[in-house]
């Protein structure tokens, strides 16, 4: 083929010449290209006004039958223009989008800078200390409660079962382990949902953001707070590990019902430690978080179950548990969700918390408090009080009860501050002050014993007026001449009033405070009737010296306080007020207080096999009913009444005495009975604190830091020389001249001497040879008759079997409930009751006429005659100082 290339086809030739159309031959002939001539192809002839075509046609029309060239050349420029316009729009959109993003980013940066500038300097940011927790334990180490702002101690991430933190992540922030504090994907997802729902559907805060909010910010829902929350979240992620952040969250998030943190929630709702949560329990607790007040199992168990199901499903979806485990962990829909109800131990916990500052000052970190509470006794006390209030309350018109039980050394073992802590946290055992009524009278009688009176001193039970004050007996009946033993046993107001006037109200207050009453008391005669208010705790502790041998006590519920590392912060001391009752006076008081529960107003109390004493108390209109009783091991006080001070149909001798009996019987189970102190301390060593005469304070041993003591002869009260066995701690009296033990003085150990034995003198029925019950109300009817071993036995006024010949019927007791006093034989010559005296020749007790001559012949003088106030001596008969054994029933009915 012959190719010819013209100059126009060369590289660099002008474009016009290169594009010049080539000539074409005739129809059907091939035109070969030749050098210097281009290929014939042109569209010029197709344009109006064109210059003609090639092939000799000049500028004329093309020959007929010749096809027109394709119009492709005209379509291509239009499409190009369209593409140009479309490309320009997209480029413009991208450009303006970029500009908008740039400005938006600048705006966001500006907002962040603006609100970030309002935060403190970053180098000052630090995690706030968690409020300290007070962990309160019973004597056996079991948990009573947690106290503090959080309601529970902090636990570490690694102490928890693996599914506990997994439940938090699956439910609250499933991308927690991968995001940087803020979750952009989560934010976008929430934004799309909110647009579709035309409203905010859920929050988008991560766990880290919630920690930042809880630690540093207020809960306000504002743009500024959210920005600061995000800034702080990023800071947390930069400075703490994921485990540490999750630990902060679990220990500080609120679960409702006053529980902050996973440990508090586990204890509050399930009564277990967070360390021991089951999978189902963990899921239920996490389900509470979106709405603690509405989703918790105490408020709405059905909703809580549904929330638990959702959390378990999420955990299965995220692969933390299997579907089978999720199904197995769900609580049966027919099963009631069990949550722990705050019981009476919460009253103890509140009391302990209130004491903490006084013991160790301000609490700066978690502490552990060991208490003296016996958990079994606490549960028994709570159950008994609740049961009796439920059974007797509607009929007798009362709704509340309280109980305090302690060892005779002041160690508190149980406390019930009310029947329902959930409904009322007011502690009626410690905080409430009520009138003790006749339960206060032992302090009046003790003041009289210290002045020289004895239980057998006679007093007049009759109305009187003293400077406008005129006490009345509750029954409206008056017995005339009675012994002080009878006056206390039957709560005769006139006798107590006369005693208080005689010994002075100031002396009564001094005795009460010495025994343990700490409330402010006003020295007025009516103090004798228990009209001034005290709390049950102090009243109960004031009876403890009667049971422990005469030593004052300070109620104590805390044995030791330490931090969580075991460092000791406080430990209880055995130091106390020392002896507060003279042994002789103590024996007299226990004699009278035993009579009060054997035959007096407290005879409804009983505790099998144990020697005990006690006193009832009932305030005006029966607004308060009290019984306080003691053994040689424990003392317990019971109060019943209403918070609004309404009157009831109670007395201290009925329901309170029944509660006392039931509780004390359980509390003494398994112990060996021991008598309460009484009789003479002659022949025993008595420990007494040494008192500095200049300061009136106990002398402290510089070596031990403990109060120094000296030992005295219990009979003479004279100091004696002693030696202490270093091996056993036993103290022995010695003769300083010979160094030998003194004969007749029984050694005892420790500061609190052992109680001396009391000879009870068991009596037998002469007809049957069987033991008979004496002194107590056992089996006795109102007229003094009783059944013993299948035989009818008559008892005299002191619970002794009486001569069956000649008894006066007792009849009704005029409101004094004299079930135990019986009647004395009647003198056939005078028709008057006979009296029991001791024959000086034989030493036996015999009945003699109660005529004045016989009385004078057989009477025995006693010290401490009852001298009434001068203003009363003219109004009342002179007080006789004689050992008349006339019974109260005889006196009331004139027999």
Please tell me the pTM assigned to this model: 0.65
Residue 198 has pLDDT above 90, yes or no: no
pLDDT at site 880: 31
Domain assignment present for residue 19? The answer is: yes
Domain assignment present for residue 408? The answer is: no
Q: How far is CA 886 from CA 295, 503, 620, 826, 891, in A?
A: 72, 26, 30, 11, 7
Task: Name the residues annotated as catalytic.
Answer: 172, 438
Same domain? 258 vs 236: no
Total of domains in the chain: 4
Could you read off the pLDDT of 98-114 as tens digits, one per residue? 777 777 766 666 666 65
**Helix segments in 649-705, DSSP class H:** 655-667
CA dihedral angle for residue 787, residue 791, residue 796, residue 802, rounded to 10 degrees: -170
259: number of Cβ within 10 Å? 24
741's CB contacts (< 8 A; 6+ apart) are 732, 733, 734, 735, 747
Q: Determine phi and psi for 111, rounding to 5 degrees.
A: -65, -45
685's CB contacts (< 8 A; 6+ apart) are 711, 712, 713, 714, 720, 722, 731, 733, 745, 746, 747, 748, 753
pLDDT at site 8: 53
Same domain? 21 vs 110: no
Q: How confident is the model at residue 336 (pLDDT cuts 50, 70, 90)?
A: confident
Domain boundary pick from 211, 227, 253: 253
Could you read off the pLDDT of 549-573 as tens digits, one per residue? 999 999 999 999 999 889 999 999 8
- In the numeric block, the tokens 């509660």 are attached to 659
Token readout for 145 is 């409660």
Same domain? 188 vs 328: no
Residue 456 has pLDDT above 50, yes or no: yes
pLDDT at site 462: 94
Dihedral sign for Cα atoms in the order 366, 369, 374, 377: negative
Same domain? 197 vs 247: yes
pLDDT at site 277: 95
The rounded mean pLDDT for the chain is 76
Residue 588 has pLDDT above 80, yes or no: yes
Domain assignment present for residue 515? The answer is: no
Token readout for 663 is 């509780």
Same domain? 107 vs 223: yes
Same domain? 188 vs 115: yes
Domain boundary pick from 340, 374, 396: 340
* First-to-last C-alpha distance (Å) of the chain: 171
Q: How confident is the model at residue 61 (pLDDT cuts 50, 70, 90)?
A: very low
Same domain? 40 vs 11: yes
69: number of Cβ within 10 Å? 13
Domain assignment present for residue 427? The answer is: no
Same domain? 117 vs 208: yes
pLDDT at site 80: 59
Same domain? 243 vs 265: no
Q: What CATH number does residue 196 fall under?
A: 1.10.3810.10
Could you read off the pLDDT of 236-258 as tens digits, one per residue? 999 999 999 999 999 999 999 88
Domain assignment present for residue 692? The answer is: yes
210: number of Cβ within 10 Å? 21
Q: How far is CA 261 from CA 130, 152, 177, 378, in A?
A: 10, 7, 21, 28
pLDDT at site 543: 98
Same domain? 286 vs 245: no
Window from 586-595, 712-721, 851-860 with minimum mean pLDDT: 851-860
Tell me which residue range forms the domain holding 35. 1-49
Domain assignment present for residue 333? The answer is: yes
Same domain? 202 vs 223: yes
Domain assignment present for residue 291? The answer is: yes
| DSSP assignment of 270-329 | HSS-GGG--HHHHHHHHHHTTSHHHHSTTT-HHHHHHHHHHHHHHHHHTTSS-HHHHHHH
Window from 222-231, 355-364, 408-417, 536-545 with minimum mean pLDDT: 222-231
Domain boundary pick from 316, 340, 364: 340
Window from 93-102, 354-363, 609-618 with minimum mean pLDDT: 93-102
Same domain? 123 vs 211: yes
Domain assignment present for residue 369? The answer is: no
């Amino acid at each position: 083929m012959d190719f010819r290339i013209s100059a126009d086809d060369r590289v660099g030739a002008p474009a016009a010449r290169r594009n010049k159309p080539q000539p074409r031959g005739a129809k059907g002939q091939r035109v070969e290209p030749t050098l210097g001539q281009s290929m014939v192809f042109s569209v010029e002839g197709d344009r109006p006004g064109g210059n003609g075509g090639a092939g000799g046609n000049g500028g004329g029309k093309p020959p007929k039958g010749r096809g027109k060239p394709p119009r492709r050349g005209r379509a291509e420029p239009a499409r190009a223009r369209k593409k140009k316009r479309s490309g320009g729009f997209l480029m413009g959109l991208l450009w303006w989008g970029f500009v908008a993003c740039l400005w938006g980013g600048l705006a966001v940066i500006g907002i962040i800078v603006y609100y970030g500038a309002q935060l403190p300097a970053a180098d000052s940011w630090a995690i706030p200390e968690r409020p300290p927790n007070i962990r309160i334990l019973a004597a056996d180490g079991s948990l009573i409660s947690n106290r503090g702002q959080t309601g529970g101690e902090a636990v570490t991430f690694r102490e928890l079962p693996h599914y506990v933190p997994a439940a938090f992540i699956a439910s609250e922030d499933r991308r927690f382990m991968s995001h940087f504090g803020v979750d952009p994907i989560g934010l976008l997802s929430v934004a799309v949902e909110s647009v579709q729902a035309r409203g905010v559907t859920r929050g988008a805060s991560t766990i880290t953001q919630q920690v930042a909010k809880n630690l540093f910010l207020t809960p306000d829902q504002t743009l500024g707070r959210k920005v600061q929350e995000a800034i702080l979240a990023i800071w947390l992620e930069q400075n703490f590990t994921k485990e540490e952040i999750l630990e902060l969250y679990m220990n500080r998030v609120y679960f409702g019902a006053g529980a902050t943190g996973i440990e508090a929630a586990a204890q509050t709702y399930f009564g277990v430690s967070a360390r021991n949560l089951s999978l189902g329990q963990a899921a239920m607790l996490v389900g509470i978080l979106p709405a603690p007040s509405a989703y918790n199992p105490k408020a709405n168990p059905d909703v809580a179950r549904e929330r638990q199901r959702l959390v378990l499903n999420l955990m299965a979806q995220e692969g933390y548990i299997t579907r089978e485990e999720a199904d197995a962990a769900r609580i049966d829909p027919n099963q009631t969700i069990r949550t722990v109800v705050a019981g009476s131990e919460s009253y103890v916990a509140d009391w302990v918390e209130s004491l903490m500052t006084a013991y160790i000052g301000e609490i700066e970190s978690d502490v552990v408090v060991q208490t003296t509470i016996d958990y079994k006794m606490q549960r028994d006390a709570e159950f008994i009080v609740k049961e009796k209030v439920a059974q007797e309350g509607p009929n007798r018109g009362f709704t509340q009860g309280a109980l305090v039980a302690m060892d005779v050394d002041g160690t508190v073992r149980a406390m019930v501050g009310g029947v329902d802590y959930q409904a009322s946290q007011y502690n009626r055992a410690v905080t409430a002050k009520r009138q003790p009524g006749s339960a206060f009278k032992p302090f009046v009688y003790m003041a009289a014993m210290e002045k020289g009176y004895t239980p057998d001193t006679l007093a007049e039970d009759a109305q009187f007026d003293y400077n406008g004050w005129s006490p009345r007996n509750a029954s409206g009946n008056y017995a005339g001449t009675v012994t002080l033993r009878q006056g206390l046993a039957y709560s005769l107001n006139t006798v107590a009033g006369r005693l208080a006037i005689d010994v002075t109200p100031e002396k009564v207050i001094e005795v009460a405070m010495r025994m343990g009453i700490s409330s402010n008391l006003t020295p007025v005669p009516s103090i004798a009737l228990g009209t001034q208010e005290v709390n049950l705790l102090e009243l109960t502790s004031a009876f403890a010296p009667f049971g422990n041998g005469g030593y004052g006590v300070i109620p104590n519920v805390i044995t030791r306080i330490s931090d969580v590392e075991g460092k000791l912060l406080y430990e209880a001391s055995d130091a106390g007020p020392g002896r507060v009752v003279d042994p002789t006076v103590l024996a007299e008081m226990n004699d009278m207080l035993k009579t009060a529960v054997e035959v007096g107003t407290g005879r409804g109390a009983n505790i099998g096999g144990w020697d005990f004493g006690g006193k009832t108390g009932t305030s005006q209109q029966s607004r308060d009913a009290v019984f306080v009783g003691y053994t040689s091991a424990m003392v317990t006080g019971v109060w019943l009444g209403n918070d609004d001070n309404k009157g009831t149909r109670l007395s201290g001798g009925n329901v309170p005495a029944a509660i006392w009996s039931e509780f004390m019987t359980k509390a003494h189970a398994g112990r060996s009975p021991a008598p309460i102190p009484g009789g003479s301390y002659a022949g025993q060593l008595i420990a007494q604190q040494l008192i500095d005469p200049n300061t009136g304070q106990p002398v402290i041993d510089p070596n031990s830091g403990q109060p120094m003591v000296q030992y005295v002869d219990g009979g003479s009260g004279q100091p004696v020389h002693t030696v202490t066995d270093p091996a056993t701690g036993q103290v022995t009296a010695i003769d300083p001249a010979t160094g030998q033990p003194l004969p007749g003085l029984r050694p005892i150990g420790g500061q609190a001497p052992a109680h001396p034995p009391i000879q009870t003198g068991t009596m037998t029925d002469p007809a049957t040879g069987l033991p008979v019950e004496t002194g107590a109300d056992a089996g006795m009817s109102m007229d003094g008759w009783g059944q013993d071993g299948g035989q009818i036995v008559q008892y005299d006024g002191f619970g002794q079997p009486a001569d069956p010949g000649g008894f006066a019927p007792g009849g009704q007791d005029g409101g004094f409930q004299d079930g135990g006093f019986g009647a004395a034989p009647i003198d056939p010559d005078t028709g008057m009751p006979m009296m029991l005296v001791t024959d000086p020749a034989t030493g036996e007790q015999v009945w003699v006429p109660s005529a004045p001559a016989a009385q004078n012949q057989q009477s025995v003088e006693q010290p401490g005659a009852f001298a009434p106030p001068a203003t009363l001596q003219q109004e009342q008969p002179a007080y006789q100082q004689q050992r008349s054994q006339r019974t109260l029933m005889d006196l009331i009915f004139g027999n």
